[in-house]
Structure 1
């Protein structure tokens, strides 16, 4: 039996008015969505806004020992906001849905596993006739996934579960938000303002009382001295913060000196399985991951793990099925505050698929660093350049560099450096960073 892999990385439910697309735009996002291929098995249907090149598909399936010829690749019809996204045109295009239903029958698919379970995913599931056999479909069909990915809802769930989170407020009132921010800034503390449905630090802004203060986890930072400045700034920024008044806004105390960490879990009918863990590299927003990275030295890890599993059990009891990431902030004292949950594939999911499929039983002793870099070459030539430099992946030793993403139109690619120690993985990563400029 097979499944449908849907690479809907960018969805209208995850972005708002403040969305900033990468420099290569939507087609770059479409190439990024090809990372779902690391989770493909024989006879699966892979649905993407832009189909992978033959070279990248062969590269991935050779490493995962998947029969490329047995896979079916489907490009979705183009709709707003443009090529590179799995758009709502999939829902409206009856010809696409009809043809997809026929293909699904040929491949005997039993479920859909989308990057994010939105209205497009439910429409494709209906076309394929896998509503009853897709775990958690009813919950997703009623918008449950959107609810759980809300940062505002997360705070309520975490407080109810007794999970430690940063102090803060959730509000629809700009004066309420400004009052809290002004109070913290007057006490010499910074705050971080978060849009409700954003990811990767997009939409976040740090407001702090001192110039040149740390502002990790946000694209922008503003130094504000007086209460008047805070009120004026929040009022002017409210349409952006609230997505035009459509969403609640989260204002939290900003805690400097934290290590961003995550625990990725798989939630299914049988229970909860730990899928991966690591450190999120920030500069100032997400710039890759290290596995296990600094998380291995966090004294409060076991308490964080317990909190993550408690949240996962809550999510599971509501009906969600699929991947889930619990993000935390390890303070200088070692305590881990939970920052948010993401009930979808994350930026680390494909890396842990790689570890499970390619490293197998050896993955527990390996260390990995994943980053995005810039290349002047296509995928094949970039791979040759890495292998020619002596950094290629050694299948026997299971160390070296794997290219985990194809080259985007703006010449970005992603690599995962794998070593037997943190130092070896870091050495591979340093060599790649010297060879290829920052993306």
Structure 2
């Protein structure tokens, strides 16, 4: 529980995960900002880079029991691919945020701890959750920025004893030569830009692609001299992750699960780990805890994730760390809150996205869920939650499914695909 009011700062447009030059993908990610509504408690302020529908807000407040008049939502007008703090300034909203939160001992809760968020907190007179001082948050920035890179992670993971895919770090002009070298011993390689998230900018390259004088075509991520990582392409059975947080008493694991991916890009998540890869849970937690201690030693506090790949032979390989609130951190908080955080076994759940055959608004989608009895029922602690508002196109719906077991979750997802008429459903 928070000890005071919080300014939920949905700074998806951050240099932490991807270079700000990658404006299109950042703007796309920012469309997920409405999910932060599930964190709000009475007295809080939400600073969002995108508008939220009144229907969605009413729906979320009803499920969380938050009186609408007890929270403030500030929608920041678009300002291009710039950090949210700059967009707030350009919109002339600094004083509005200060008036709502600055004189009540509130703390900023950023999606990503970056330099612009820390500067914003200082300007407005806010703390930075969960740090004791703004200076303490600022001191953690160097490690936060470093371990959100592929090269920084590989170096730290190697020192901490994690198993890694064979690979090398290099500058962009060297990437093709490194790929050719690795392809002598491996059927395929994956080429990753140093600062990237969600699979953005990754290339999967086979031996055949670089035969006969063909060259490696990389996109513009990271600029002409940027750092890249080239790794063997494993025969992957599952992509998994463990989510943890660094607290005053040390790191603790929160949950683990399997990621749904398409060509390395994140499309969804299911927790707990399915039986096919449940055997790696202990090793994942061990690696995550070691990384958490390393982060704590360098002043970091708060949530982070460690991703790994489970090969078809059942062996796990660490792949990257995300030192920020990830795509699953807030949904997990929402699920824990909606199910009461009881002492019993945690529910099974998934988050994913489905594309409807025709557009619909939020009320229309919710009406279908309620008519089919799929909508989340607080009394039963199970059902479907439309956790991210209506999508801009009316078709690309994000949802969470909560139930007692993985099999029940799967059944609900199948029914949901029929009710909302997902393509391919």
TM-score, structure 1 as length reference: 0.86
| Matched residue SS, 1:383 | helix
Given that 2:16 and 2:112 are in contact with CA atoms closer than 8 Å, whether structure 1 keeps it comes out as no
| Matched residue SS, 1:429 | helix
* Structure 2 counterparts to residues 238-277 of structure 1, below 5 A: 240-245=220-225, 247-277=226-256
Q: Identify unmatched segments of 5+ residues in structure 2.
A: none
- How far the C-alpha of 1:205 sits from its partner, in A, is 0.5
Between 325-334 and 198-207, the greater mean CA deviation after superposition? 325-334
* Match for residue 17 of structure 2 among 14, 17, 20: 14
- How far the C-alpha of 1:225 sits from its partner, in A, is 2.8
In structure 2, the partner of 1:89 is 87
- How far the C-alpha of 1:77 sits from its partner, in A, is 4.7
Q: Identify unmatched segments of 5+ residues in structure 1.
A: 211-222
Q: Tell me whether 1:135 sits opposite 2:121 in the alignment.
A: no
In structure 2, the partner of 1:436 is 421
| Matched residue SS, 1:405 | coil
- Provide the rounded CA distance (Å) in 1 between the counterparts of 2:195 and 2:350: 27
| Matched residue SS, 2:345 | helix
- Provide the rounded CA distance (Å) in 2 between the counterparts of 1:256 and 1:311: 25
In structure 2, the partner of 1:355 is 335
More helix by share: 1
- How far the C-alpha of 1:270 sits from its partner, in A, is 3.0
- Provide the rounded CA distance (Å) in 1 between the counterparts of 2:281 and 2:67: 39
- Provide the rounded CA distance (Å) in 2 between the counterparts of 1:150 and 1:114: 19
In structure 1, the partner of 2:386 is 403
Distance 1:87 1:207, change over 3 A: farther
- Provide the rounded CA distance (Å) in 2 between the counterparts of 1:127 and 1:17: 22
* Structure 2 counterparts to residues 219-238 of structure 1, below 5 A: 223-225=209-211, 228-229=213-214, 232-233=215-216, 236-237=217-218
| Matched residue SS, 1:356 | helix
Q: Tell me whether 1:426 sits opposite 2:405 in the alignment.
A: no
Aligned pairs, number: 412
Given that 2:108 and 2:128 are in contact with CA atoms closer than 8 Å, whether structure 1 keeps it comes out as no
In structure 1, the partner of 2:7 is 4
- Provide the rounded CA distance (Å) in 2 between the counterparts of 1:362 and 1:378: 37
Distance 1:398 1:362, change over 3 A: farther
TM-score, structure 2 as length reference: 0.89
- Provide the rounded CA distance (Å) in 2 between the counterparts of 1:300 and 1:150: 24
* Structure 2 counterparts to residues 13-162 of structure 1, below 5 A: 13-16=16-19, 19=22, 21=24, 26=27, 29-81=29-81, 86=84, 88-90=86-88, 95-106=92-103, 108-131=104-127, 135=131, 137-138=134-135, 140-141=137-138, 143-144=141-142, 145-162=144-161
- Provide the rounded CA distance (Å) in 2 between the counterparts of 1:30 and 1:173: 28
| Matched residue SS, 2:399 | strand
- How far the C-alpha of 1:437 sits from its partner, in A, is 2.1
